[in-house]
Structure 1
Amino acid sequence: MSQANNPNAVSTERVLSASPRKVFAAFEQPDLLAKWWGPKGFTNTFEQFEFKPDGRWVFVMHGPNGASYHNESIFREIQSDTRIVIEHVVKPWYRLTVTLTDRGGQTHLAWVQEFESPEVAARMRPLSGTANEQVLDRLEALLAGEGP
């Protein structure tokens, strides 16, 4: 569903120069995910990572300013190489749906972050839109072998 059709959503998409299998692996392997998850300059400490339906993902994001941000999510849906649905269960609540589509050896990635209301989405859109682009920049760099 596009952002225009869903006022609760912040979305972006990108074509990555890697197969859906390789992109999916960057989500399912915690050592890889920790390298690129979060905006530019952030690092992660994973406390729990259960990559399975209803599995918990508990981690701390460390900002470049020294601040730490506790995160807790549940993997709601995992379809190998095609779809991952993550529910962020601490404030701000959101459901992130990542869809991977093969484009002849490349991957079209659709990233839709759905918040609890249009008001929360409107408040989060400036921050999330920029942060999500930075996250995908880091993923793209990792996939290209350039590091996060």
Structure 2
Amino acid sequence: MSLTSIDKDYDALTITALAEFDAAPEQVWQLWADPRKLERWWGPPTYPATVEQHELVPGGSVTYFMTGPDGETYHGWWEVLAVDPPKRLEFRDGFAEHDGRHRDDLPVSTAVVRFTGTAGGTRMEMVTSFLNRAEMDEQISMGAIEGAAEAMSQMDAVLAG
């Protein structure tokens, strides 16, 4: 599995996921840039994602929903802040109502994803930042770490084919 670690830093209010891939940075970048590839790994295996809108440009937005085993859908959004293919992506990530309205009652985080070429492929670092400890704790209690690990564990299969 390419995911090597997911660490919490309560002082910095961050969760950092590290992964190593036997693929070039341009290929790993496509896991984010291609909406069909993104939806093959963004949700945990039992909550597959469907990407509805995908504007991976500064000021653009990505909207999606994940479908649970019971058929219930859970909607989310990204506000794209920075894009530097195939090196860096930054976005705000939040929850949405079924009609797409942003939910104010759930935390919003900011993610910075960096792709670095290595001798054997690509190192990907995703740092998710929170405004405060309460929002970080809420995301963790909702299963954010386990969900991220399950979702990112699917990336190798998407890269393979």
Q: Indicate whether the TM-score tops 0.5.
A: yes
For the Cα contact (< 8 Å) 1:7–1:118, is it kept in 2?
A: no
TM-fit CA distance, 1:122: 2.5
1:128 is aligned to 144
2:50 is aligned to 45
TM-fit CA distance, 1:119: 2.1
- Give the alignment's TM-score, normalised by structure 1: 0.87
2:36 is aligned to 31
Q: What residue identity is the alignment partner of 1:133?
A: A
Match of 2:58, SS state, is coil
**Identity across matched positions, percent:** 23
Change (3 A) 1:30 1:96: same
The answer for unaligned runs of 5 or more in structure 1 is none
How many matched pairs?
A: 144
Change (3 A) 1:16 1:82: same
**1:81-96 pair list within 5 angstroms:** 81-90=86-95, 91-96=106-111
Cα deviations by residue, 1:21-44 (Å, 9 ceiling, x for unpaired): 000011111111111111122222
Larger helix share, 1 or 2: 1
1:143 is aligned to 159
Whose RCO is larger (CA < 8 A, sep 6+)?
1
In 1, distance between residues paired with 2:121 and 2:58? 26
In 2, distance between residues paired with 1:98 and 1:123? 22
Deviant stretches of 4+, over 4 Å:
none
In 2, distance between residues paired with 1:97 and 1:123? 20
Match of 2:46, SS state, is coil
2:74 is aligned to 69
* Aligned-residue CA RMSD (Å): 1.8
Match of 2:23, SS state, is coil
